[in-house]
Amino acid sequence: MTITQTHLVTRSTRLLIIGSGPAGYTAAVYGARAALEPVLIQGLQPGGQLMITTDVENWPGDTHVLGPDLMARMEAQARALGVDLVADMVSCVDLSQRPFRVELDGGQLFLADSLVVATGANARWLGLPDEERLRGKGVSACATCDGFFFRGKEVVVVGGGNSAVEEALFLTNFAAHVTLVHRREALRADKTNQARLFANARVSVVWNAVVERLEATADDMALAAVHLRDLVSGERRRLPAEGLFVAIGHDPATALFRGQLEMDAEGYILTRPDSTATSVPGVFAAGDVRDRHFRQAVTSAGMGCMAALEAERFLAGHVSDAPLGVAA
């Protein structure tokens, strides 16, 4: 991929980090402590997915912390250590040579001797014909963002993992009733979350079913019902609902790196065993862009630490053949 530099403001850095979730901020902290003077591109949603999470109960050292508060603390720590935080979006990346070239929407071009990709993942949708049209009119992928607007209403959550169960439980703080729809006969969520869900009288579960279509109100301004199909019997039913929350997983935000980094069939970046090193020397991947199994803030942070330490070692061994700002 070729980037034209003539109209861009060019800057150089030893370590560039793309993404501002737990992986990105942790990489920045470790990079700063290694005197690499890292630059971190925060992206469209600084703080990542934890910005749309309310209660975090499994972050070490905190019995209870709000997701946005935790991310604000991470950002503040990075700033205190001198990390250069850039509030912009990456539009183009060229990994064909070092230094790597990263162009931002705002007109800056970064030349980076090493790169940490920590761009996270995006919510996956059902792909129904009226789904996009009804987003913001009852259809959402973020209960913590929109749950307040469904006080006293009937809502549906689709999914069977921890995210779906947590969203369903959160919505019981507002909704009159929550129906969890899952395409299988058992949940994938951990046992603690399942116990909480089954103990909550304001939640019911529809097993072996999928949402087949959405129904809008007569004025087409809001969701009125979801239509379900039983995967065992084939029976169809109409379930009145004013809210539909989709929690069926995420897709890694790796479009910028397709054709440049090795990925699996779903777009997750592949790394060496016990490492964050990618198929391109000097490029490291941390967090949800390479983790399809655990997807936890603490594992993302751990990978951010690994990425920064590996970047430091890489730079120490490549000072002579690729000095800062000079293509190898």
146, 288, 291, 305: the catalytic one is: 146
Question: CA-CA distance, 174 to 308, in Å (whole number)?
Answer: 42
**218: which residues sit within 8 A by CB, 6+ positions away?**
none
- Buried/exposed 34-67: b ≥16 CB within 10 Å, e otherwise: bebebbbbbbeebbbbbbbbbebeebeeeeebbb
Q: Which of 55, 69, 145, 190 is catalytic?
A: 145
Given the residues 88, 94, 130, 142, select the one marked as catalytic: 142
Q: Is 92 a catalytic residue?
A: no
- Distance of alpha carbon 68 from alpha carbon 232, whole angstroms: 41
Distance (Å, whole) CA 178 – CA 200? 10
The reply to whether 305 belongs to the active site is no
Sheet strand arrangement including 139-140: 139-140, 243-246, 154-158, 177-181, 203-206
Task: Mark residue 40 as left, alpha or beta (left: phi above 0; alpha: psi -120 to 50; beta: remaining).
Answer: beta
Reply yes or no on whether 145 is catalytic. yes
Phi, psi at residue 194, to the nearest 5°?
A: -60, -40
Catalytic residues: 142, 145-146
